[in-house]
Amino acid sequence: MDFTRLQAIRFDPTSANANLTALPSTLLEGLIPGYGPVAQIIFRVLGFDIGLVVSAGLVVFGLTKAVEFLYNKAYGVFAQYLMSNIQIEDDDELFSSVMEWIAEQSMTKVSRDLKAVTKWVSAYEETDEERNASDEDVLDESGIFNFEKWASNIPPRYEPNFGSDEFHHEGRWFKFARTRREKQAKSPWGASEDQVLDISCIGRSTEPIKELLNHIKRWTLTKDNKMTAINRPAPKEERKDYAWDRQSLRPSRPMSTVSLDQKEKAKIVMDINEYLHPASARWYAARGIPYRRGYLFHGPPGTGKTSLSFALAGIFGLDIYCISLMEVGLTESDLNKLFAHLPRRCIVLLEDIDSAGLRRPDEPAAAPEDDTANDSGTDDGSLTKISKSDAAPKPSGQPTSGFKSLISLSGLLNAIDGVASHEGRVLIMTTNHPEKLDAALIRPGRIDYKVPFTLGTKDQIRDIFKRMYSTERDDDEKPDSPTKADKSVKSIQSANRNSTREDDEFLELLTKAPVLDILEPEKLKEMADEFANELPEGKFSPAEIQGFLLMRKKEPSRALKEVAGWRESMLEAKEKDRKVGELQ
């Protein structure tokens, strides 16, 4: 824009032609080349001087900008001195709780600027939209459940878009702002952004906002009191920002589903309950006892060690933090940081501690192995890695070189109960071979309670059968479920019109899908006793028995009829050291 032409303008206010339209016309002629001829053409054709419009527009524009400037300045001063604010970052658990609560408020329902969320919402848990989605018309033409068809009935969740909005809660005015900022720690996958929530209110005290956040936490608790959060270490490159990453949020497991003696379960629950009570911390401190509690769950695979850990987390409302000492690149420094960032009350789960490859301080750290020696060519030219268990066995008497962790035994012990370690957590270790554990790891003070798990007993077998075929827990089943036999047959018949003979034979098999037998409690108890008598004690794990019943989850009579054949098949497979039996 050329402003030099303004110098040539000579405006004489005493001239007879001087008026309000002359000034903007002269200015616009100097700023916009060609304005004069255009204004003259419009005046000749329409008989209208656009100078009046330009003058009014300039006045309105100037007043608008002035009011906007004054408002922003006044609001900035007002917000700085007469408003309070609390900020929440997206790596905090409270962030998702606030976003979920905001999505349920009326401000989200009437707003004209929203953000639709679908995929990431259901990554952790089943949402309300999924629970309330219709089960109608979810079968395809062949009578098979079609996930995409069912998922299309789930509406997205709508939440406020980036920007600000206002809402009222319990008679108070709040301002909600959602913004983005560049991530401070650069990600190896490129630049990324953090999200920040700002909640403000009028007044020089943040108490109203704190009360609102407490309300949201209570709302989340009542909504998710039947869920257990599973956390694992965050990727190594992201631990500068946060150490833990929530992996999943699953329904809490009832204690009745854990295959363990009832008295033993009661003792464990009572012990943890007493330990977690707030008065216990003061009791420990008054007597100079470290406020820690460790548990060792040991027994064969599939006996319920991890299941008990999840059930305990559900009972006490604790999150689970799983640490694998076999993680590649996990150092003692990383382990100390992970333990330092644990919440005050949680369950720390160290699974399969016997296979963690812990080394003594005098042993060298693990060195990268040459993968070339373990690669074998296949017929198609690709490489297949041979596991150490498949390699030729070494002669007896020679030591086998297994995985050696970067973490030494002393490093793990310092992280668990060293001088700088925090207190108040529940530590649970699981192992299939307790005899392989170092005595220093399970000494009293580190492991206070040892829980043995055994292969299935008569009582456990009986309980598993009754739990599998009991209908008392099937409260969520919808009465108008489209999986009924008549609807399936109808869908299959309609599909047969355009199918081949082979398809017809296959689809005919689908019409034979079993319907759950409804058993009276007395009949169920009788069948459970008979089923338990068919299986010997101490031979099968609860997981194996449950797997057999899952293949017949709607047919208790069939399970009872085929259990003898399955028993013989599995015993023969175990005797010959086969991984699977002939009868599944």
- % of the chain residues with pLDDT over 70: 69
For the cut 80, the answer to whether the pLDDT of residue 380 exceeds it is no
For the cut 80, the answer to whether the pLDDT of residue 75 exceeds it is yes
Q: What is the pLDDT of residue 400?
A: 42
Q: What is the pLDDT of residue 396?
A: 40
Q: What is the pLDDT of residue 73?
A: 92
- Top-tier CATH class for 244-365+402-452: alpha beta
Please tell me the distance from the alpha carbon of residue 501 to that of residue 1, in angstroms, as a whole number: 79
For the cut 60, the answer to whether the pLDDT of residue 231 exceeds it is yes
Q: Taking residues 132-142, what's their average pLDDT?
A: 60
CA distances from 262 to 462, 514, 526 (A): 13, 33, 21
**Which stretch of 25-29, 37-41, 91-95, 207-211 has the lowest confidence by average pLDDT?**
25-29
For the cut 90, the answer to whether the pLDDT of residue 397 exceeds it is no
Q: Contact at 8 Å (CB) between 488 and 513?
A: yes
**Which stretch of 20-29, 72-81, 92-101, 414-423 has the lowest confidence by average pLDDT?**
20-29
Q: What is the pLDDT of residue 311?
A: 93
Report residue 382's pLDDT band, with 50, 70 and 90 as the boundaries: very low
What would the two tokens of residue 152 be?
């299309």
For the cut 80, the answer to whether the pLDDT of residue 498 exceeds it is no
For the cut 90, the answer to whether the pLDDT of residue 66 exceeds it is yes
Q: Contact at 8 Å (CB) between 349 and 428?
A: yes
Higher pLDDT, 495 or 226: 226
Higher pLDDT, 131 or 564: 564
pTM for this one?
A: 0.69
Mean of the per-residue pLDDT values of the chain:
77
Distance of CA 159 to the CA centre of its chain: 18
For the cut 70, the answer to whether the pLDDT of residue 416 exceeds it is yes
Q: Judging by DSSP bridges, how do beta strands 375-377 and 383-385 pair with one another?
A: antiparallel
**Which stretch of 133-147, 453-467, 536-550 has the lowest confidence by average pLDDT?**
133-147
What would the two tokens of residue 292 be?
């820690």
Q: Taking residues 227-234, what's their average pLDDT?
A: 87
Q: What is the pLDDT of residue 27?
A: 66
Q: What is the pLDDT of residue 417?
A: 83
For the cut 90, the answer to whether the pLDDT of residue 387 exceeds it is no
**Residues in contact with 63: Cβ distance below 8 Å, sequence separation at least 6, in sequence order:** none
Higher pLDDT, 508 or 213: 213
**Residues in contact with 388: Cβ distance below 8 Å, sequence separation at least 6, in sequence order:** 374, 400, 402
For the cut 50, the answer to whether the pLDDT of residue 434 exceeds it is yes
Label residue 279 exposed, middle or buried (CB < 10 Å: 0-12, 13-18, 19+): exposed
Buried b (16+ CB within 10 A) or exposed e, 192-223: eeeeebebbbeeeeeebbeebbeebeeebeee
Domain layout of the chain by residue ranges: 4-78, 83-224, 244-365+402-452, 516-584
Report residue 320's pLDDT band, with 50, 70 and 90 as the boundaries: very high
Q: What is the pLDDT of residue 166?
A: 87
pLDDT in tens, 275-289: 999 999 999 999 999
Segment holding 250, helix H or strand E: strand 244-251
What would the two tokens of residue 433 be?
């071979």
Nearest residue to 24 (alpha-carbon basis) of 47, 56, 2: 56
Q: What is the pLDDT of residue 564?
A: 92
Q: What is the pLDDT of residue 129?
A: 53
φ and ψ at 121, to 5 degrees?
A: -65, -40
pLDDT in tens, 158-205: 888 888 888 889 889 999 899 988 766 555 544 467 889 999 999 999
For the cut 70, the answer to whether the pLDDT of residue 146 exceeds it is yes
For the cut 90, the answer to whether the pLDDT of residue 375 exceeds it is no
Q: Helix axis angle, 556-575 relative to 521-534, nearest 10°? A: 20
Higher pLDDT, 103 or 129: 103
